[in-house]
A and B are shown apart, each in its own frame.
Chain A
Amino acid sequence: MDVQNWTYILVGLTFALYIGIAIWSRASSTKEFYVAGSGVSPLANGMATAADWMSAASFISMAGIISFAGYDGAVYLMGWTGGYVLLALLLAPYLRKFGKFTVPDFIGDRYYSQTARIVAVICALLVSFTYVAGQMRGVGIVFSRFLEVDINTGVIIGMLIVLFYAVLGGMKGITYTQVAQYCVLIFAFMVPAIFISIQMTGNPIPQLGFGSELADGSGTYLLDKLDGLSAELGFAEYTQGSKSLFDVFAITLALMVGTAGLPHVIVRFFTVKRVRDARKSAGIALLLIVILYSTAPAVAVFARTNLIETVSNKPYAEVPEWFKKWETTGLITFTDKNGDGLINYVADKEQNELIVDRDIMVLANPEIAKLPNWVIALVAAGGLAAALSTAAGLLLVISSAVSHDLIKKVYKPNISEKGELIAARLSAVGAVCIAGYFGINPPGFVAAVVALAFGLAAASFFPAIILGIFYKRMNKEGAIAGMVVGITAMLLYMMKYKLGWFDETLPDKSEWWFGISPEGFGTVAMILNFIVAIVVMNFTKAPPKEVQEIVDNIRIPSGAGESINH
């Protein structure tokens, strides 16, 4: 059977599964809609968090990014996993004990201020919308490449599926579909990785395989060979990298802290029953995430070596079939600059004749390694699972920010339970439509901005939540000033150095403050937030006694079951 049919079957089966789960787990109260009734087991929450977290970027793009960045790719590997340690140790248990529905809930109550609540809502919407647009686009791309439908049709199909289970099931539906999506995506990622690891090194465990000797009997280590190949073509040695130490430091920290401050990740910990379940499910989530994240650098090395060996200095007339196929999608381009008919793939931009999109490394990897058709189709189903699960989590944050934080808590406090549930569903519909619109008409800056959602989260939520838990004296004036200054600084730096809105052309790297890239600036903005918050606090009144009692209360784990029934 050909790849196309396999893809229709696997994608169709997984979609039917998601819809089935959605019908089975409909939400009947706001508590079920926002936090799945706070009755999710630590294992299920761990799986759901892992799927929620691993987006199209993790599944499709990350291995490719590492493949071209070599050592530097570690900023993503460490950055997107290390944040879970912060979550488990510094945030999740206390937020669970606090036991409300959303992140703005915590900010608004802890800082006894509607202004703080509204600032938090704006930050949550800003972070989540930039992130979700990228996911819908990812859905469209997977559809168009594997099923040869138009990208826009792909986005609309994706919208309808998410709409169905997010609107019907709320957090409850999303949680259990995410559990299924984790299984699909991890299977889809691991199968090709294991196949290729065996092919190249004879070791079935990719994590060990990429540190092993080649299976061709030459006795050379794979990594040494890749270092050699890279050097030969003029690239930096694979295991060395080329970013400055300071920037590596800043980006990694911004990603870690941003991860811990992303509202769609934080709310997952409101869904478990007890404080100790929140800690445990953070551990399970990270374990399940690390299965994919520790495989990605192995895939990166396999794919990079395979690519160089297959195409470098080979006659263009004799390239394998996958090369032509991906050429038609524009993801591979070849221009024979010196007219010798050979593919000249080198670091020097003047002479280089081959441009390879990084997404190819995962999408085309099974074809490059000549794996069976069903494995290729599996990658499509996995990519869709990754994009849809993250999109759903983000949409819930957006809809609850509107229906719970704005309508219920600010504009219409006496709204009935039923009315709020309808409002929640309607805002989910609205959010899906806006996300779909951005997926179909991506403003040029969306792709550039998605990576910066982490910087925005690091600059706004992380300090406000940490100070709210660990610094009893922190008051509303300090927290609000910190959040506003932090997120503004991040936005301005991003507009100037990433989007180039303030100058004729994008400013050069040499103008970056202290050599810190826009991706790493979240670290600076976060420090700024902390400093401003503490200085302002020192000149203003201490928080009222009731608020200090809330802080004392969230530090003690017992009694989490009651606090949710408010």
Chain B
Amino acid sequence: MRILIADDEIVSRRRLQALLTTWGHDVVSVEDGTAAFDLLKAPDAPRIVLLDWMMPGMNGVDVCRAIRNERPEPYTYMLLLTAKDAKENVVEGLESGADDYVVKPWDPEELKARLRTGQRILELEDHLVEARETMRFKATHDHLTFLLNRGAIVDLLERELVRTLREKGCTIVILGDLDHFKNVNDTYGHLVGDEVLREAARRLLGSVRSYDFVGRYGGEEFLLVLNNCDTSQAMLRAEEIRKGIAGLPIQTARGPLSLTMSMGVLSSKEWNQCGPAEILCQVDAALYRAKASGRNRSELARPNSHEISLVPTK
């Protein structure tokens, strides 16, 4: 375990460093609190720190406070080492954010045990953070395709529409639907259908830029939110994406299947005052027109003059 020690007094520092090294730790040692704080803020900082209380510059308690304020994650386990053993000192030390408090002269066996406690707590913390991140991913992603799920992509659409309006930019919204997908499920079974959805998702992701968003909107419907675009590019981009699906058969366990996608396309610049619900409604209508006029094509959602005069202000 990498451990940082901070003590301005050389004998104590050397003793600590030597013993911790003997116990198999990788020790970094500094002579004052400010240096300790700088190191602890850095990426890949040691997760356990032993801080002398009284130090020039920032003292141990200052470091504890600053770390708790400025670096909540990853968690740093902090032990204060001090000769101050009055109750109010112990309380002040722990209130500053220290996890443990060791009174000098400390006993090696006791310190070793306290460090094991620290390691145990850090392991627990890591497991919890990992579990939280897994849950966060699952809560925002579709389990089959690993694309953003409907809730997440609609949230993003809402956020992007606000941002693009504020920045007077343009966001392109595309709603794509795999043509005759039901036939795949009915003919080859759901497992093959799942393969098709996963491959379609992979191609959609591959055909946009790293800062665009792709989500699974429904069964075989996908919503794409492309930032910083130009209205004139909308259909071009949509066509590229459409060809990415239609251009090459999808390999499945039951052989290659040729699939196509119909697209509703919308440029936010032409629908400036519209909220996400209206945008989704309009792009869905465009998708419906693409389906109605033969599928495997893109249709642009254009506000007509009548609609412009009726544009809701939300």
Say whether A and B bind each other: no
